[in-house]
Amino acid sequence: GENVEQHPSTLSVQEGDSAVIKCTYSDSASNYFPWYKQELGKRPQLIIDIRSNVGEKKDQRIAVTLNKTAKHFSLHITETQPEDSAVYFCAATRGSQGNLIFGKGTKLSVKP
Amino acid sequence: SQTIHQWPATLVQPVGSPLSLECTVEGTSNPNLYWYRQAAGRGLQLLFYSVGIGQISSEVPQNLSASRPQDRQFILSSKKLLLSDSGFYLCAWSGTAAYLHFGNGTRLTVT
């Protein structure tokens, strides 16, 4: 069935460094790829998303890239700050209009 | 603006007891509604979703059930809780856009 693989499961960086989280998906019909940030004990919140007709999208220190041919997309966080520490989830639609399938999450720790 | 309410925030229940978690959405009509479960340190597991009143799709077989008695109300239930039902339960909605808006979650501990 449809699957989203996310790597790494944990990531530790120094404040100011960049962080990259990668996801691959199996359904070639997937057309929407959001990223969620979940702080401890709180709900996941959308931080950035990209659609299949776009290769890259930026929002200040956060960017997402999509390679449809290879079926992978990545989250890039530059100039990381301690408040970026959280669990990040990638997701992809099941088909072109289906439910979101989530990756297993990446726990990012930013050390001051 | 749209808001999603989920309650209770925390719940401690003994094994074998019933469960009812409620979720309501305001400010939108005919939303898609979802129940997710998140075990400690794990990912988001889709339990149920609904595209309309009385329409429930189950993603995994389990002792939980869901109902949608009104357009913007989604209820997660169990007749007899198991220890393995412990976790963080999240209600979510989506509209014409695909992205999900999550509620604040219910932390359920089955003892």
B9-68 confidence digits (pLDDT tens)? 999 999 999 999 999 999 999 999 999 999 877 789 899 999 999 999 988 867 899 999
Query: What is the structure's pLDDT at B39?
Result: 82
Nearest to A100 among B42, B98, B103 (CB): B98
For residues A21-37, give the mean pLDDT: 95
Query: What is the structure's pLDDT at A1?
Result: 66
Query: What is the structure's pLDDT at A52?
Result: 87
Question: Tell me, what DSSP letter sits at residue B85?
Answer: G
Pick the closest to residue A9 from A105, A73, A109 (CA basis): A105
For residues A37-47, give the mean pLDDT: 94
Contact yes or no for A102 and B43 at CB 8 A: yes
For residues A94-110, give the mean pLDDT: 89
Neighbours of B77 (CB within 10 A): 14
* pLDDT confidence tier of residue A11, bands split at 50, 70 and 90: very high
Query: What is the structure's pLDDT at B61?
Result: 67
Query: What is the structure's pLDDT at A53?
Result: 86
Contact yes or no for B44 and A44 at CB 8 A: yes
pLDDT at A58 over 80: yes
| Selected residues 12-41 of chain B with any CB under 8 Å from a CB in chain A | 34
Q: How far is B45 from chain A (nearest CA, A)?
A: 8
Pick the closest to residue A23 from A88, A78, A83 (CA basis): A88
The structure tokens listed for B38 are: 């998140």
Which of chain B's residues have a Cβ under 8 Å away from the Cβ of A32? Answer: 98-99
Residues B84 and A82: their CA atoms lie apart, in Å, by: 34
Q: How far is A29 from chain B (nearest CA, A)?
A: 14
- Kindly report the average pLDDT of chain A as a whole number: 94
For residues A86-99, give the mean pLDDT: 88
More confident: A3 or A24: A24
Residue carrying structure tokens 């978690």: B21
